[in-house]
Amino acid sequence: MSRGSLPRYILARIGLMIPMMLVLLTLVFLLLRVAPGDPITAAVGGKLDPVVIEARRESLGLNRPLIVQYLEYLWQVARFDFGQTISDNRPIIEIIRDNGGATLTLTIGAFLIALGIGIPLGLVAGRARDSVRDVVIRLFGVVTYAAPIFFVGLMMQMFVARPLGFPTSGIANPRTQFTVATKPITHILLIDAALQGNTQALGDILLHHVLPCLTLGLLICGVFIRLVRVNLLQTLQADYVEAARARGIHESRVVRKHAFRNALVPVVTVIGLQAAMLLGGAVLTEKTFNWPGLGTQLVHYISARDYIGVQGLVTFFAVIVVMISLVVDVINALIDPRVRYS
């Protein structure tokens, strides 16, 4: 494989993933052990005698040397065995299967909203540089990016949900969820409702998605506004755009066909970076809206000091982010061959 070939580039990226994952897994393992408490004291520390608590810790193997626990953990991960939670005996794989779908539809919905709001507003701001519209849009982008998710979520619940009748929490009405989830096909509630042809349930699930997706989508739309605006301003000053104008092409066509499309290229790169932010934001959004996703589960297991639960879910999140980064890197390399040489 020659230097700069795409397969070589992909292999190099995959090779980099391994140390990255190892560092992450080690950090998660150590941080959890450094933090005070353990699953037993978290669950029954306020009830039981210390002697009984100690016996329970021992029965779980929490008193073994850290290095033994660490190597065992790495060996499990290497075999894709994420284990079973300590606090409620759930296999991690089952948690990912049952709760992953809710996080997936939330993040995809939020991402579409972010693109749907961010790109048009960035375009408008870029075309009307330094106008009132530009200032207002930039301000909007900064505010949505800077506002804490739980605050935006609470405002949505109080000032949008009640007047318009949107549900404030959950992925579906409990009765809808029961109807759809008892016959799971993909374990993704939205898709299962569609596959079951249950339009009423589908409408209800979509309705429940509106506010959480909007809240999370607003967080990252500011990034897209800024990015599209800046890139549009740059491309509008490029020589080939000037040349297009000189040929008498209409300004709107110049923007649409020449400047805008090129301004979108860096957005692809940023999508990879936003994936981590999106998943981080999803944790807070899920908590605010009582969303039954992986973020909610992660918060629960952190509170329960459930080492296995937290390790398993963080590892899964990490794998997802790394995989998305890899895909984005490959797309970038395809779009711009210079990347392969950098």
Partner 1 sequence: MNIKSLTGLAAVGVTLALALSACAGSAPGTATSGPAATSGGGSYILGTTDTVTALDPAGAYDFASWNLQYSMFQQLVVIPAGSDTEAPDAATSCAYDDAKTVTCKLQTGLKFSNGHELTSSDVKFSFERNLKINDPNGSSVLLGNISNGDAKAQALKDGAIETPDATTVVFHLNAADLTFIKVLTTATASIVDEEVFPADKLLADDQVVGSGPLALESYAKGDQAVFKANPNYTGDRKSQSDQVFVKYYKDSSPLRQAVENNEIDVAWRDLTPTDYVDIAGKGQLDVINGEGSSFRYWVFQFGTEVGKQQAIRQAAASLVDRAAIAKDSYDGTVTPAFSIVPPGFAGQKDSFKEVYGETPNVEGAKKLLADAGIATPVKITLGYTPTHYGPNAVDEANQLADQLKASGLFDPTIESAEWEQYQTLYKQNAYDLFILGWYPDFLDADNYLTPFLVDGGFFKNNYSNPEMNTLVEQQRGETDATKRAALIGQIQDLTAKDVPLIPSWNGKNVAVANKQTKGVKETLDPTYIFRLWAISKTA
Q: Please report the sign of the dihedral spanned by the C-alpha atoms of residue 255, residue 261, residue 266, residue 270.
A: positive
Which of 9, 77, 87, 235 is close enough to bind partner 1 by CB under 8 A?
87
Measured from the CB atom, the residue of 4 and 280 that comes closer to partner 1 is 280
Beta-bridged to residue 91, according to DSSP, are 84
Name the nearest CA neighbour of 9 among 278, 259, 329: 329
Measured from the CB atom, the residue of 158 and 323 that comes closer to partner 1 is 158
Stretch that binds partner 1, among 34-42, 65-73, 221-229, 331-339 (CB under 8 A): 34-42
Query: Within positions 212 to 251, which residues make up the interface with partner 1, using CB under 8 A?
Result: none
Beta-bridged to residue 84, according to DSSP, are 91
Measured from the CB atom, the residue of 272 and 295 that comes closer to partner 1 is 295
Query: E strands within 15-93?
Result: none
Name the nearest CA neighbour of 229 among 260, 269, 254: 260
Stretch that binds partner 1, among 22-30, 73-81, 87-95, 238-246 (CB under 8 A): 87-95
Measured from the CB atom, the residue of 7 and 174 that comes closer to partner 1 is 174
Question: Cβ 280 to partner 1, closest distance in Å?
Answer: 17
Sequence letter at residue 1: M
197/183 Cα distance (integer angstroms): 12
| 313 touches 95 (CB < 8 A) | yes
Answer yes or no whether residue 289 interacts with partner 1 by CB under 8 A: yes
Q: Please report the sign of the dihedral spanned by the C-alpha atoms of residue 337, residue 222, residue 114, residue 173.
A: positive
Answer yes or no whether residue 280 interacts with partner 1 by CB under 8 A: no
Binding residues with partner 1: total (CB under 8 A): 76
214/253 Cα distance (integer angstroms): 31
Which of 7, 36, 197, 248 is close enough to bind partner 1 by CB under 8 A?
36
Answer yes or no whether residue 108 interacts with partner 1 by CB under 8 A: no
Which of 42, 268, 270, 277 is close enough to bind partner 1 by CB under 8 A?
42
Question: Cβ 134 to partner 1, closest distance in Å?
Answer: 14
- Those residues whose C-beta lies under 8 Å from the C-beta of residue 166, and which sit 6 or more positions away, are 160, 207, 210, 211
Query: Within positions 160 to 219, which residues make up the interface with partner 1, using CB under 8 A?
Result: 161-162, 164-170, 172-179, 181-182, 198, 200-201, 203-204, 206-207, 210
Sequence letter at residue 213: C
Stretch that binds partner 1, among 131-139, 158-166, 218-226, 267-275 (CB under 8 A): 158-166
